[in-house]
């Protein structure tokens, strides 16, 4: 295990050694004025077989100087630093290396949340919320897990060998799912006015994940069993019912994608409510909702428990809570829950999608945008079984093609589209056009 690096020459020597050892290693620069944070981050990263710290630096100015003679794949860039802070250093770093992947690291304060979202608009790939105290940093399992997951996902994504040709799409006129995937997307049978799964074990599997297992490896393996590794993506026909709701799930790269999408959807928002679950902590969701409200010109806000779901509104799942919908007499209302994380996500897309399947059924239209992991696949299975439709963002325009890949390769999608084509498709579907 390498030691924490503090000088440019030592870092350069170390980087050269890493490149000789193999070009699949993700080279990481850790930038933080707190010695403890730099040391811990470097230790965690160096313990992983596919990534290595090539420099550990205390300021944005030293980082810019380091890149004059050195190279790396990922920069973990703290926002609050003396001399030259992260938001000032970001565009200067991207000027020096256009394909550099920068992950902002910030605390849970409102100011940090606002700066993090601004950084995404300036070219940062993602952000990681950091506990405020040193003691919390040293003991936070979730901070360590998120840091390593994002470095790995974004680091491997940017390497040419990792960018495979997108699998071909099989049109909806052909069988909607492959034989292997059929057991995971069996349509529900209609009994007594309600929908039921043809296979009861799906309900038991969802119940298991609603009460989150602590075995991360097992949880991921179980979810990946829904994703057949076929060479092509089989599309299914869109629902014959005009959508009455637009559901959106996203994670890594989501704020940028949501901004681009919502600003093109004012007409759609007027016709149907928009419900968004994005993997984001408290305070950050508040700031993001305010931003989407400005961008879309419609009222976007963090959803509140019990409020009615109405056309013209954008409802954002609050950080650290699951957002579901329930039917109350003739009204549909928001249900905010503090139950266990699902796939280590809270809020989780699965919670929203599965509940929407019960409320809107075939009148549901869901979008799965860029993001790590497989959250949303089980909920999408419920939506499709209830007659709803799914659109996934394509790989080329996703920051990380994890969540959309999962639903696409499970045979659950009616379309897989570039981000800039999704809004137009949504508007056509809401107007009753299913072509």
Residues with catalytic function: 251, 279, 375
Tracing tokens 């394509």 back to the chain, one arrives at: 394
DSSP H helical ranges for 55-193: 60-66, 86-96, 110-121, 134-139, 141-157, 179-182
Asked whether the beta carbons of 350 and 343 are under 8 A apart, the reply is: yes
Q: Which two tokens stand for residue 106?
A: 């910030």
Asked whether the beta carbons of 142 and 341 are under 8 A apart, the reply is: no
Q: DSSP readout, 262-286? A: HTT-HHHHHHS-EEEEE---TTHHH
Using a 10 angstrom Cβ sphere, with 0-12 exposed, 13-18 middle and 19 or more buried, the burial of residue 307 is: middle
Which residues are CB-contacts of 88 (< 8 A; sequence separation ≥ 6)? 60
Tracing tokens 């009615």 back to the chain, one arrives at: 308
Rounded CA separation 166/171 (Å): 15
Q: Which two tokens stand for residue 175?
A: 């069988």
CA-wise closest residue to 157 among 242, 247, 74: 74
The SS3 call for residue 154 is helix
CA-wise closest residue to 315 among 361, 278, 261: 278
Using a 10 angstrom Cβ sphere, with 0-12 exposed, 13-18 middle and 19 or more buried, the burial of residue 116 is: buried
């Amino acid at each position: 295990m390498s030691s924490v690096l503090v000088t440019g020459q030592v870092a350069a020597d170390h980087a050269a050694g890493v490149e000789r050892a193999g070009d699949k290693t993700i080279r990481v620069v850790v930038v933080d004025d707190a010695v403890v944070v730099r040391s811990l981050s470097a230790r965690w990263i160096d313990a992983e077989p596919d990534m290595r710290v090539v420099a550990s630096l205390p300021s944005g100015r030293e980082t810019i100087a380091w890149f004059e003679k050195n190279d790396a794949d990922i920069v973990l860039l703290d926002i609050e630093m003396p001399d030259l802070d992260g938001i000032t250093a970001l565009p200067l770093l991207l000027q020096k290396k256009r394909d550099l992947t920068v992950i902002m690291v910030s605390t849970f304060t409102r100011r940090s949340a606002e700066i993090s979202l601004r950084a995404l608009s300036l070219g940062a790939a993602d952000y990681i919320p950091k506990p405020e105290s040193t003691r919390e940093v040293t003991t936070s399992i979730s901070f360590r897990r998120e840091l390593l997951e994002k470095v790995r996902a974004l680091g491997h994504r940017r390497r040419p060998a990792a960018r495979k040709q997108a699998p071909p799409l099989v049109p909806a006129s052909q069988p909607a799912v492959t034989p292997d995937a059929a057991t995971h997307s069996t349509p529900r049978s209609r009994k007594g006015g309600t929908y039921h799964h043809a296979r009861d074990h799906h309900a038991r599997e969802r119940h298991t994940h609603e009460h989150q297992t602590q075995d991360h490896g097992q949880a991921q393996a179980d979810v990946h069993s829904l994703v057949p590794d076929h060479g092509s993506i089989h599309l299914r026909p869109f629902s014959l019912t005009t959508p009455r709701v637009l559901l959106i799930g996203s994670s890594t790269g989501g704020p940028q994608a949501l901004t681009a999408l919502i600003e093109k959807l004012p007409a759609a928002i007027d016709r149907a409510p928009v419900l968004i679950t994005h993997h984001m902590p408290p305070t950050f969701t508040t700031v993001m909702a305010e931003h989407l409200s400005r961008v879309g010109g419609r009222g976007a806000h963090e959803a509140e428990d019990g409020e009615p779901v109405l056309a013209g509104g954008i409802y954002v799942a609050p950080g650290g809570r699951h957002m579901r919908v329930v039917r109350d007499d003739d009204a549909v209302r928001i249900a905010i829950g503090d139950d266990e994380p699902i796939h280590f996500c809270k809020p989780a897309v699965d919670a929203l999608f599965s509940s929407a399947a019960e409320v809107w059924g075939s009148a549901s239209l869901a979008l799965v945008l860029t993001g790590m992991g497989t959250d949303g696949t089980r909920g999408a299975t419920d939506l499709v079984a209830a007659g709803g439709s799914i659109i996934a963002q394509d790989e080329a325009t996703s920051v990380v093609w994890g969540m959309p890949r999962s639903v696409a390769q499970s045979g659950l999608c009616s379309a897989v589209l570039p981000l800039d084509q999704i809004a137009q498709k949504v508007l056509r579907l809401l107007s009753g056009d299913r072509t």
